[in-house]
């Protein structure tokens, strides 16, 4: 990412752990290590995809940014301010600039409220629009922008299809004029034909409004279409990050390679092959020692279970100069020292 | 390969304000022994309801109103309740998307599989336990002896689905109906379960009716594919032909809108609009409201079945016209 433009969002060493409380006195007996040492930048108008399987901590990171969770450590710099230092009141104001869209629109819309009122609620609370009529006109304009018929604004959520409901959630987020939208599995529950419509819409809105997205997903095929950069998480830590094209064409971390290889191909000439990794993801309350992935890794070495690998720089392949992201794997260290020597 | 299951003109309906709405309409297909047939479609296409109709498990007040479901020549719709109970979990077994909802949370998983064996075979506890242990080993459950006494919440999602598969196989079914068997699983675990299903089909010769929305899974597992849209079949073809040369405009749109296929930076081809709800289905081709190749007859007249080659079927006026027209595109 370019260093000239200051990032819109910068995460530094974010840590969010949940206490495990047991017994009558609710004493803390352990920690679910949901997110540890998470750092990344998102530039204005750019999309970072945070990918991983269930329990990897990607959702925790998204929620921590909005302070819907309480991180123990780290810095969340947004437009130059550390959100973790803000008072409750200043944080409320900052939420106007960061919105979140969830997986299940039915769960995030109020079933007993007209969609017009739900969209206008945020505007009203942040003092956008001079009066009811003004806000109504804005709702109509925004609905048109996402290809919803403004004539339906007085209807209730159940009167819309799943894809339309997700458009309503997008309108509601846009209504308060955010700079960053956290999309938490926002297209995962949609049918593929509707998913394509919503992905195109998100891209159009980004082009027109200069929005940034933190796109949280388990589905790598969606990532390639939308993201400029990718960060892959496994058991609470980022194991690899870098430009989307490099991640897809030359993944450095064995886990990223496994994730990519596990996607069923739709190329009819290609099928079969052994599953890329065996076993399930271990529990984040008791992660393996050393590299968290060593219990499932096909190229595991002796040191992997003893030492915790840091993020090593990944250099570009075939002619691309400079750093192409980072990988939390000792193999990246070896290739780094080879290229230096 | 012999014909195991023959579904003819299946119609399943639910009562509605205007009478009855057919959510599965005139669906016909065969399943041969040892083959994997994928039933593909988006939500509301009727694919799961077709599977439930075969087992006569359509939730009330829905019911099968027409058609035949022949298992080696005998129509399951004529079976008595007790005969049908022996078929379910006997000759035809089913696994579902969410294993947690199918397992009893307060009974050890081994005991649940043993109970299923006991319902269909007269065998003692010791033998049932031994057989369950063998099944656990066969479906790749590590340390099967210890897992027999585990409760569902002690197992990961992938292991629970393996237990469900073990239970389904316990009576050596000829047909396994798998309804979105990997949709709730992570992608690395999904790859393991798909490999397991593929091994079972090869080693045991079990025929699989695979219900899925994911064409990647179809490619991984299926021999033949039947595509459904809004309660109707639109196209049936062998896997390779369907994926490399889809004929129906809906199948083509579905394939094109998969993000992985689009080169980065290029806009995704969309299918415009939404699937109409069952009470708003057009009289003619159900896809006509969204189809880019729609012409005069599409909205009003339902297309006849066309068979471009002996192993393909498609329901589309455009395909029908071009196959009749000698000047048209060769099929």
**Integer Cα distance of B47 and B41 in angstroms:** 7
Instruction: Give the model's confidence band at B223: pLDDT under 50 very low, under 70 low, under 90 confident, else very high.
Output: very high
Q: How far is B266 from chain A (nearest CA, A)?
A: 8
Cα–Cα dist B79/A136, whole Å: 60
Q: Is residue B227 part of a domain?
A: yes
Residue B29's DSSP bridge partners are B7
A168 and A183 fall within a common domain: no
Would you state the pLDDT for residue B184?
84
| Residue B45 resides in a domain | yes
- Structural domain boundaries, residue B113: 105-171
* Residue at a domain's end among A262, A282, A310: A262
Maximum Cα interatomic distance, chain A, rounded to a whole number of Å: 69
Is residue A316 over pLDDT 90?
no
Residue A128 has pLDDT above 70, yes or no: yes
Between chain A and chain B, the number of residue pairs with CB atoms below 8 A apart is: 124
Residue A10 shares a structural domain with residue A93: yes
Between vectors from CA B311 to CA B325 and to CA B52, what angle results, nearest 5°? 120
Q: Please, what is the average pLDDT of chain B?
A: 90
Mean pLDDT confidence for B229-244 = 96
Last residue in a domain, options B120, B148, B171: B171
Nearest CA in chain A to B42: A191
Q: Distance between CA B167 and CA A27 in Å, rounded? A: 40
Q: Mean pLDDT across chain A, nearest whole number? A: 91
pLDDT in tens, B152-182: 999 888 899 999 999 999 989 999 999 999 9
Whether the per-residue pLDDT at B328 is higher than 80: the answer is: no
Percent of the residues in chain A that have a pLDDT greater than 70, as a whole number: 95
For B247-304, what is each residue's pLDDT tens digit? 999 999 999 888 876 676 778 888 988 888 888 889 999 999 999 999 989 999 999 9
The nearest CA of chain B is from the CA of A146 a distance in Å of: 13
| pLDDT exceeds cutoff 70 at A339 | no
Verify that A111 and A56 share a domain, yes or no: no
| In the predicted structure, residue A303 carries a pLDDT above the cut 80 | yes
B155 vs A contacts (CB less than 8 Å)? none
If asked whether residues A152 and A116 sit together in one domain, one would say: yes
Are B243 and A196 within 8 A, CB to CB? no
| Same-domain pairing of B136 and B285 | no
pLDDT at A188: 86
Instruction: Write down the ipTM of this complex.
Output: 0.85
Q: Does the structure show a pLDDT above 50 at A42? A: yes
From chain B, the residues in CB contact with A199 under 8 A are 259, 268
- The answer, for B263 touching chain A at a CB cutoff of 8 Å, is no
Angle value at C-alpha A83, between A81 and A85, nearest 5 degrees? 95
Q: Tell me phi and psi for residue B93, to 5 degrees.
A: -115, 160
- Residues of chain B in contact with residue A271, where contact means CB-CB under 8 angstroms, are 219-220
- Judged on CB neighbours under 10 Å (0-12, 13-18, 19+), A203 is middle
- B227 and B141 in one domain? no
Q: Is A14 part of a structural domain of the chain? A: yes
Using the Cβ of B245 and the Cβ atoms of chain A, whether some distance falls under 8 Å is answered with: no
**With contact defined as beta carbons under 8 Å apart, do A194 and B274 qualify?**
yes
Tokens encoding A5: 């433009």
Per-residue pLDDT at A252: 95
Answer yes or no: is pLDDT of A318 > 60.
no
pLDDT digits (tens, 9 = 90+) for A223-256: 988 999 999 999 999 999 999 999 999 999 999 9
- Answer whether residue B96 is part of any domain: no
Which of A127, A156, A176 is a domain's end point?
A176
Indicate which CATH number applies to the domain containing A243. 3.40.50.300
Query: Residue A185's closest CA among A72, A294, A56, A282?
Result: A56
Closest residue by Cα to residue A220 from A42, A51, A46, A40: A51
Q: How many domains does chain A have?
A: 2
What is the span of the domain harbouring residue A145? 106-176
- For Cα atoms B158, B161, B166, give the angle at the middle one, nearest 5 degrees: 125
* pLDDT tens-digit readout, B60-104: 999 999 999 999 999 999 999 999 999 998 999 999 888 778 899
Residue B30: pLDDT band with limits 50, 70, 90: very high
What tens digit of pLDDT does each residue of A157-182 get? 998 888 899 999 999 999 999 999 99
Are B151 and B36 in a shared domain? no
Is residue B98 domain-resident? no
Q: Which two tokens stand for residue A262?
A: 């596990």
Does residue B315 fall inside a structural domain? yes
Q: Give the phi and the psi of residue B69 in degrees, each rounded to 5.
A: -130, 90
- A185 and A88 in one domain? yes
Yes or no, beta carbons of A280 and B261 under 8 Å apart = no
- Domain end marker among A262, A280, A302: A262
Distance, CA of B69 to CA of B51 (rounded, Å):
11
Q: Which residue of B has its CA nearest to A283?
A: B156
Quick one: B305 and B203 in the same domain? yes
* Number of domains comprising chain B: 2
Confidence of residue A76 (pLDDT cuts 50, 70, 90): very high
- Give the Cα-Cα-Cα angle B227, B69, B78 (nearest 5 degrees): 155
Residues A197 and A220 occupy one common structural domain = yes
Distance from CA of B249 to the nearest CA of A (A): 13
Give yes or no: residues B312 and B244 share one domain.
yes
Is A292 domain-assigned? no
Q: Do A183 and A93 share a domain, yes or no?
A: yes
- CATH no. for residue B16? 3.40.50.300
User: Would you say residue B15 lies in a domain?
Assistant: yes
pLDDT of A217 over the 70 cut: yes
């Amino acid at each position: 990412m370019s260093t000239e433009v200051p990032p819109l969002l910068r995460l530094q060493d974010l840590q969010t752990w949940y206490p495990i409380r047991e017994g009558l006195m609710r004493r803390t007996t352990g920690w679910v290590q949901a997110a540890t040492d998470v750092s990344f930048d998102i530039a204005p108008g750019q999309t970072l995809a945070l990918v991983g399987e269930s329990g990897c901590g990607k959702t925790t990171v998204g929620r921590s940014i909005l302070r819907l969770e309480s991180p123990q450590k780290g810095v969340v710099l947004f437009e130059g301010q550390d959100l973790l230092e803000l008072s409750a009141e200043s944080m409320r104001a900052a939420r106007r600039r960061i919105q979140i869209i969830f997986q299940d629109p039915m769960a995030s819309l109020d079933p007993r409220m007209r969609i017009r009122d739900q969209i206008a609620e945020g505007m009203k609370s942040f003092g956008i629009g001079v009066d009811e009529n003004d806000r109504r006109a804005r709702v109509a304009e925004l609905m048109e922008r996402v290809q919803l018929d403004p004539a339906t604004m007085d209807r209730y959520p159940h009167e819309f299809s799943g894809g339309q409901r997700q458009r309503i959630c997008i309108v509601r987020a846009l209504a308060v004029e955010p700079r960053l939208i956290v999309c938490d599995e926002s297209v995962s529950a949609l049918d593929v034909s509707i998913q394509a419509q919503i992905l195109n819409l998100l891209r159009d809105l980004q082009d027109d409004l200069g929005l940034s997205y933190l796109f949280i997903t388990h589905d790598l095929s969606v990532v390639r279409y939308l993201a400029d950069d990718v960060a892959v998480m496994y058991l609470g830590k980022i194991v690899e990050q870098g430009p989307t094209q490099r991640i897809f064409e030359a993944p450095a971390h064995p886990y990223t390679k496994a994730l990519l290889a596990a996607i069923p191909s739709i190329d009819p000439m290609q099928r079969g092959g052994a599953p890329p990794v065996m076993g399930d993801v271990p529990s984040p309350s008791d992660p393996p020692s050393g590299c968290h992935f060593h219990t499932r890794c096909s190229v595991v070495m002796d040191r992997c279970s003893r030492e915790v690998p840091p993020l090593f720089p990944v250099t570009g392949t075939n002619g691309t100069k400079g750093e192409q992201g980072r990988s939390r794997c000792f193999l990246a260290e070896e290739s780094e020292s080879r290229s230096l020597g | 390969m012999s014909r195991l299951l023959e579904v003819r003109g299946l119609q399943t309906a639910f009562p509605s304000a205007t009478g009855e709405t057919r959510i599965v309409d005139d669906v016909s297909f065969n399943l041969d022994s040892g083959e994997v047939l994928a039933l593909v479609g988006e939500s509301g296409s009727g694919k799961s309801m077709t599977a439930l109709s075969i087992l006569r498990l359509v939730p009330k007040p829905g019911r099968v109103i027409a058609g035949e479901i022949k298992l080696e020549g005998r129509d399951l719709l004529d079976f008595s309740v007790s005969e049908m109970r022996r078929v379910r979990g006997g000759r035809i077994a089913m696994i579902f998307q969410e294993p947690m909802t199918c397992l009893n949370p307060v009974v050890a998983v081994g005991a649940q599989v043993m109970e299923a064996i006991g319902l269909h075979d007269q065998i003692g506890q010791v033998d049932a336990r031994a057989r369950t242990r063998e099944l656990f080993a066969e479906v790749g459950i590590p340390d099967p002896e210890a897992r027999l006494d585990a409760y569902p919440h002690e197992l990961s999602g992938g292991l629970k689905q393996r237990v469900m598969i073990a239970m389904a196989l316990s009576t050596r079914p000829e047909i396994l109906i798998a309804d979105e068997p990997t949709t709730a699983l992570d992608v690395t675990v999904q790859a393991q379960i798909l490999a397991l299903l593929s091994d079972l089909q090869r080693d045991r010769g079990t025929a699989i009716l695979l219900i899925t929305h994911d064409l990647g899974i179809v490619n991984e597992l299926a021999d033949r594919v039947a595509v459904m849209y809004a309660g109707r079949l639109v196209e049936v073809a062998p896997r390779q032909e369907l994926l490399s040369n889809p004929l129906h405009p809906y199948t083509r749109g579905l394939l094109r809108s998969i993000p992985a296929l689009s080169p980065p930076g290029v806009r995704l081809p969309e299918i415009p609009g939404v699937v109409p709800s069952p009470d708003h289905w057009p009289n003619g081709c159900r896809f006509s409201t969204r189809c880019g190749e729609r012409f005069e007859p599409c909205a009003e007249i339902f297309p006849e079945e066309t068979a471009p080659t002996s192993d393909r079927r498609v329901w589309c006026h455009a395909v029908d016209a071009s196959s009749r027209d000698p000047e048209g595109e060769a099929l």
